[in-house]
Amino acid sequence: AQKITQTQPGMFVQEKEAVTLDCTYDTSDPSYGLFWYKQPSSGEMIFLIYQGSYDQQNATEGRYSLNFQKARKSANLVISASQLGDSAMYFCAMKKTQAGTALIFGKGTTLSVSS
Amino acid sequence: NAGVTQTPKFQVLKTGQSMTLQCAQDMNHEYMSWYRQDPGMGLRLIHYSVGAGITDQGEVPNGYNVSRSTTEDFPLRLLSAAPSQTSVYFCASSRQGGSYGYTFGSGTRLTVV
């Protein structure tokens, strides 16, 4: 069965600094997909970035990048140049099946950005 | 384009009452799924569907029923509400393959007293 582990309940960073949010995963499927979602205090779930297990390069989307280390089964989210608006809960997730029928989530990391 | 619409946004139930949380999407997505979010637990998968007429159980299915008679709608039924079902419920949908990201509804905050 798939499992996502996020070991950092809370992280603190100052504006304009970079921050890394950790995510490790476990799966026996050779083909899988990993996601990061942001949940601000308003509660909506915002899709940030996706990494497929066969993708040759690490995914990037603007200030977000995914540090994908397949052998270590880690998929850390890197946020460059943090902004106050980055303060939120961040969830790492994995496709439940190779077909991607649903998601399995980690418990989340709360990021606080200060000025 | 409304995306994923969940109703109601808030609901208070008494123990033992039944109700249906509605979820509708207008993106012609094949996959739909329900999650509950509890403090410190992340989002946990309740039920999911890969298409009309096909549903399956997730991590925490007990106490919930689903059906998918159309591509657009995926309602979640609580048969006899319990205080342990107090939670925030999210519905999500995705195109086949799932690589495109899952679109989430805005959530339903349910309190069972």
Q: What is the pLDDT of residue A98?
A: 67
Q: What is the pLDDT of residue B1?
A: 64
B36-76 pLDDT per residue, tens: 999 888 999 999 999 999 999 999 999 999 999 999 999 99
Which residue has 């998929």 as its token pair? A75
Interface contacts A/B by beta carbons within 8 Å: 70
Tell me the pLDDT of chain A averaged across its residues. Answer: 94
Which of the residues A61, A96, A97, A101 would you substitute to probe the B interface, choosing the one with the greatest number of B C-beta atoms within 10 Å? A101
Which residue has 């969940």 as its token pair? B6
Tokens at A53, concatenated = 């297990």
What CA–CA distances, in Å, run from B14 to A10, A87, B8, B80, B89?
35, 35, 16, 9, 17
Residue B39 half-sphere exposure, CB side, CA atoms within 13 Å?
1
Tokens at A106, concatenated = 């980690």
- Cβ–Cβ below 8 Å for B102 and A91: no
> Residue A106 in contact with residue A91, Cβ under 8 Å?
yes
Tokens at A51, concatenated = 């990494």
- Using 50, 70 and 90 to split pLDDT, how confident is the model at B97? low
CA-closest candidate to residue B110, choices B44, B33, B27, B37 = B37
What mean pLDDT is predicted for residues A87-103? 87
- Cβ–Cβ below 8 Å for B98 and A43: no
Q: Give the containing element (helix H, strand E) for A69.
A: strand A64-69
- Using 50, 70 and 90 to split pLDDT, how confident is the model at A30? confident
